[in-house]
Amino acid sequence: MTKIADKPRSMPQGHVRLPAHELIYRQLRALVLFGDLAPGQPVTIQGLTDLLGAGMTPVREAIRRLIAEGALEFQGNRRVCVPHLSADNIGELILVRQWVEPHLAHCATAHATAEDLKQLTALDDELDAAIDRGDLRAYLESNYRFHKVVYDIADAPILAELADGLWLRFGPSLRVVFGRLGTQNLPDNHKAMLAAMAGGDGDGAAAAMRKDVAQGMELVRMALTGGRSLR
């Protein structure tokens, strides 16, 4: 296992000093979100202290946080791992996302400024570029960031946190499933959504969002039920 970072003895004066547990949390979160840790993979404290060059305390806190968010699973004994998704789990996630994401898209449409739309368009361009390059990792990141910005615009912090948290649950599977499909067949209803938002059509944006979510999640569901078991 390779080291990602050395322990910084003296901080090289980044503008704001973020506490170590926060940094570790963000790194570990990204590892889960973009599928660098596969479902079922065990997560150990000491493994992460070596990998990220951090002390035990910050690593412990980051792991606890991610367990609370459902990104990691505490296995009764004292082992922690990235959870597998069951078919039932996927069904629940589809249900929640199909309710909450259109709602947020609707709110976002009401609040979006020209500046916001520009930012979303730029992110969607990045996403297209990633698809053309066949760069799965970049696709996953751009796609996530697009949705994240929509949440922020919607100005509904509790719903946004809820929607954001769900990504941690299906992120690991997304990587596995989409990896088998190639980047050409991935869902992208963002342009229809942007058009609706630009026209102030909240219902249209919500419908586009629902379609986007439904397509993506359905691919995961099919892979987990139809295909051979991932376990």
Partner DNA sequence: GCGTCTATAATATGATCAAATTATTTAACG
Partner DNA sequence: CGTTAAATAATTTGATCATATTATAGACGC
Per-residue string for binding with a copy of itself, 116-155, x by CB under 8 A?
A: ----------------------------------------
Q: Applying CB under 8 A, which of residues 27, 38, 53, 60 lies at the interface with a copy of itself?
A: 60
Per-residue string for binding with DNA, 64-93, x by CB under 7 A?
A: -------------xxxx-------------
Which residue in the block uniquely carries the two structure tokens 């969002």?
209
Best CA proximity match to 188, nearest among 155, 153, 164, 212: 212
Task: Say if CB 147 and CB 91 are below 8 A apart.
Answer: no
Dihedral, CA of residue 77, residue 82, residue 86 and residue 87, to nearest 10: 170
Q: Applying CB under 8 A, which of residues 38, 67, 176, 198 lies at the interface with a copy of itself?
A: 67
162 binds a copy of itself (CB under 8 A): yes
Residue with smaller CB distance to a copy of itself, 190 or 221? 221
When CB distances are held under 5 to 8 angstroms depending on the partner's kind, the choice from DNA, a copy of itself, none that residue 47 binds is DNA
Residue with smaller CB distance to DNA, 54 or 168? 54
**In the complex, minimum distance from the CB of residue 137 to a copy of itself, in angstroms, rounded to a whole number:** 26
Q: How many CA atoms lie within 13 A of 186 on its CB side?
A: 26
Triad 164, 159, 25: Cα angle to 5°: 35
* Alpha-carbon dihedral sign for residues 98, 161, 76, 177: positive
Residue with smaller CB distance to a copy of itself, 78 or 180? 78
- The full DSSP string for 190-211 is HHHHHHHHHTT-HHHHHHHHHH
Residues that bind DNA (CB under 7 A): 7, 17, 19-21, 43-47, 54-58, 60-61, 77-80
